[in-house]
Each structure stands twice: as structure tokens, then as C-alpha cells.
Amino acid sequence: MAKVITFGEIMLRLSTPGYLRFGQSHQLDTTFGGGEANVAVSLANYGIDTEFVTRLPENDIARACLKDLRSYGVGTKHIIYGGDRLGIYFLETGAVARPSKVVYDRAGSSIATIQPGSIDWERVFEGADWFHWTGITPALSQGAADVCLEAIKAANRLGVTVSCDLNYRKNLWKYGKKAGEVMPALVEGCDIILGNEEDADKVFGIKPEGFDVTATAGAIDQQRFRSVGEQLMARFPRAKKVIITLRGSINANHNTWGGVLWDGEKLYESPRYDITHIVDRVGGGDSFMGGLIYGLLTYTGDDQKALDFAVAASCLKHTIFGDFNQVTVAEVENLMKGDGSGRVSR
């Protein structure tokens, strides 16, 4: 069985019930979530041996977080401890023309104050086949960026496949560095690069000609993104595959969803799903990445099937509350076969 390592921050998520605004709600629903942890949960659900690596404080909230991760079968033996707090994010779910809102309270979190040399990456990668990180981690602090680079270099030395989700978050880059200054050195060590329709532009200035994400009205010409794959591979020659998720936003509850994969020679296009009643889109990209890693590890040599699995898995995630995609391989494969009826399974 393949073994996947992910590294990043996990946070306490506090969300208003239903579609209430922050100023309306007198209670908040608590769950946990974070890009790389979300990927780990997806993979564990699919039966992949998965370890999530982070730094947590030693308190009851962190222990509750560990219990939650372990309940999904995610390995936690390489997590280290220190610092004063677990990061928090607040979520207000949007509706129709009103977008969702996220408010971060993660400054000075345990992972943000991590320092190089804190993690023995040689030991972490023993028996590992794959390492995944996202652009959120190096956005937190110089220390987090340095530790992430340590991990990538160790994985490269040991022959471990490295994937990244560019995941640009403008509200996180606050420690004096811009994404364009930090990310190139990390992405240079990646075999698989994932981004959404805006990430490559925001981080590297790479974009498809004539594309405006705000004017999609749900319709996206997927062929336009071949050039993005070509440009990213030209800049980062180690990369073997570039994948772009493509979201067409009709309103906060109604999106179209798909993706493309460029392998250096051919552009693979996924089916496009019309998601008309979104329950929770947070973690959608992470569920795609979890599905993609599973697909590339399982459907060896069949990039089309791997891409289709990733898109179907993330389509299902839009129907599930919380950051984590709690679906099975069978459920994803049923949707891939065209069973989107939602009929009761008895």
C-alpha cells in the first residue's frame, strides 16, 4: 500500500449555523480543518496509509483535534508539540448573491512559530511514496516556509513524489514576503502542481489569455488552460503534471466544476458538474487533491481516470458540511459512472 505524508496547519473551524451572518448567530458550530489535513482525511477514507505532520500546542483543544483526525484513520505519530495556540478560522456561509466570508485568527499559532530543524524529515519519510504541501503553509511565516522547504528537499533526496497546491491566500502573506518571492524555490522541487483558475496568475503572473474569472457565468473554456500548464512546466521543469481546477460561479449556491490535466504532451479534460445546491464548498480544492493523489496512485498510467476521480470526489464534497470530504471510493466511482440521481441507497 502507498504511503502519503502531508504537512501544514490544522485549525479550529467556527461556523455560523445554516446561512446566518456573524451578527445574527448566537452560536457557532465547531469542527477542524486545514488544507493538508483535509487531503489526509480524504486519502484515509480511500484506504491510503496517510500521516499528517504539523505542530500543535499541548492543550485540550489540540487533543480534541488529534482525536478527530485519528477517528478518520489519519496517522499523527510525527506531529510535534510547542507554541501557545491552535489557529482558528470563522466561516459565514453565503447564499445566492451574498458570498461566503472567512475571518482568520491564526497569528502566532503553533505552526506559524515553527523553526527549521524542528522535524526529522528523514524519519518522517521512511517508507513514504508521496509528500503533499500547499501554498498556505509558507504564507504563515518565514519559519513555516523554511520547514516546508526542508521537507521538499528531503523528499527529493529520498525519491518521494512531491505535490503542491498553489493555494494563494492574499490575507495570509503578512510577514514581509510576497508569494512570488517565496514560492518559486519550493515549487522547483515539485513533481505535481495543482492550482485553481487564478493561483498561477496571483503567484507567478501566469494566466490564460482572455480569461476573466469574474465573468464566467458558469461557462469556462477548459482548452484555454493548456497554456497555463505549458508555462508552469517551462518555469518548473521537474513538474510532470500540471492540474487546474475550474470553477464557474453562477452564485454562492450554484457552481459548475471541472478540471484539466496537462502532462507535457496532452491536455486531459474532465466532465463538468453542475452543482446546484452547494452545502459547503470549503475544502473543495483539497478534496480534489485527495482524489487526484488517490487516482494517480491507483489508476497508474490512466491520467484521464485519475482526473475524473478527483473531479467527482470534489463534486461530492460540495454536498458535505465541514472541511473534510467524507466519501468512499465506491461513492465516487458511482458518480463517475453517471449516477448522480441521489436516490436512496437501501
Report the CATH number that the domain containing residue 306 is assigned in CATH. Answer: 3.40.1190.20
Q: Tell me the three cell numbers of residue 325.
A: 470530504
- Per residue of the chain (346 residues), give pLDDT as tens: 799 999 999 999 999 999 999 999 999 999 999 999 999 999 999 999 999 999 999 999 999 999 999 999 999 999 999 999 999 999 999 999 999 999 999 999 999 999 999 999 999 999 999 999 999 999 999 999 999 999 999 999 999 999 999 999 998 999 999 999 999 999 999 999 999 889 999 999 998 876 665 555 556 677 888 999 999 999 999 999 999 999 988 999 999 999 999 999 999 999 999 999 999 999 999 999 999 999 999 999 999 999 999 999 999 999 999 999 999 999 999 999 986 655 545 4
The reply to whether 294 falls in a domain is: yes
CB 294 within 8 A of CB 260: no
Q: Would you call 127 helix, strand, or coil by DSSP?
A: coil
Residue 344: predicted pLDDT: 43
β pairing state of 267-269 and 254-262:
antiparallel
The reply to whether 262 falls in a domain is: yes
Q: Tell me the three cell numbers of residue 134.
A: 500547499
Residue 315: predicted pLDDT: 96
CB 238 within 8 A of CB 188: yes
The reply to whether 148 falls in a domain is: yes
The whole-model pTM stands at: 0.94
Residue 211: predicted pLDDT: 67
Instruction: Write out the residue range of the structural domain in which residue 55 sits.
Output: 3-335
CA atoms within 13 A of residue 113's CA, in its CB half-sphere: 14
Within 10 Å of residue 26's Cβ, how many Cβ atoms? Answer: 7
The structural domain count of the chain equals 1
The reply to whether 12 falls in a domain is: yes
The reply to whether 346 falls in a domain is: no
